[in-house]
Amino acid sequence: MLPLLLASTSRYRRELLERLGLPLDTARPEVDESPAPGEAPRALAVRLARAKAEAVAARHPGRWVIGSDQVADLNGSPLGKPGDVAGAHAQLAAMSGQTVAFHTAICLVRDRQVLEACDLTEVRFRPLATDEIARYVAAEQPLDCAGSFKCEGLGITLFEAIDNRDPTALVGLPLIALSGLLRQAGYTLP
């Protein structure tokens, strides 16, 4: 089988995927990540994961391509990557004391074959003071992360609880669901 192709340049996703021990390459998907008007956070995550996988698969016929996307859901409103320090402060202030759902979608595509899954993780943020948010953002610079935190780093200190079935989902690639999709696609995993 040809190596898997990860439709992402995220080092976090690549590091997670490398845990499976399968040969892989990466490619930039070049997809507009803007939400459609009124699009629900889960639907946005699923649509973007598929769009990323299909965009790369179109350039690499015959290869299995993995697309993934994560969208934070604060009371039905999607929160993407903050992009700058002010955006990170605003997101974390809005999430302070709230429970936020994180939808992490994956899509495995080869030519016209499509396999999909979406994981749900709920994170309960503790009440955050403005100076705590400022210290956290300065220390981690989470500007490329949905929801403005890195749970694999200091972001874990912002939470009261995490409820999920797959601890890798919150980092950006749900390996439990992905392993199931890969087995359906014919890959042999332990």
35-55, pLDDT tens digit by residue? 999 999 999 999 999 999 999
The residues pairing with 163 across neighbouring beta strands, listed in sequence order, are: 122
Cβ atoms 66, 36 nearer than 8 A:
no
Give residue 138's identity as a one-letter amino acid code: A
One-letter amino acid for residue 111 of the chain: D
Smallest CA-to-CA distance from 45 within 142, 118, 149, 147 is with 118
Q: 25, 69, 119, 166: which one is catalytic?
A: 69
CA 170 vs CA 147, 184, 186: distances in Å: 10, 23, 26
Render pLDDT for 112-152 as a digit per residue (tens, 0 to 9): 999 999 999 999 999 999 999 999 999 999 998 888 988 88
CA distances from 36 to 78, 104, 157 (A): 11, 18, 33
Amino acid occupying residue 114: V
Q: Which residues pair with 72 in a beta bridge?
A: 79, 102
* 69 is an active site residue: yes
**Better pLDDT: 153 or 1:** 153
Q: What is the pLDDT of residue 132?
A: 96
Q: pLDDT tens-digit profile of 1-25? A: 788 999 998 888 999 999 999 999 9
Judged by DSSP in three states, 45 sits in helix
Dihedral of the CA atoms 121, 127, 129, 134 (nearest 10)? -10
* Domains by residue range for the chain, with CATH: 4-184 (3.90.950.10)
Confidence of residue 183 (pLDDT cuts 50, 70, 90): very high
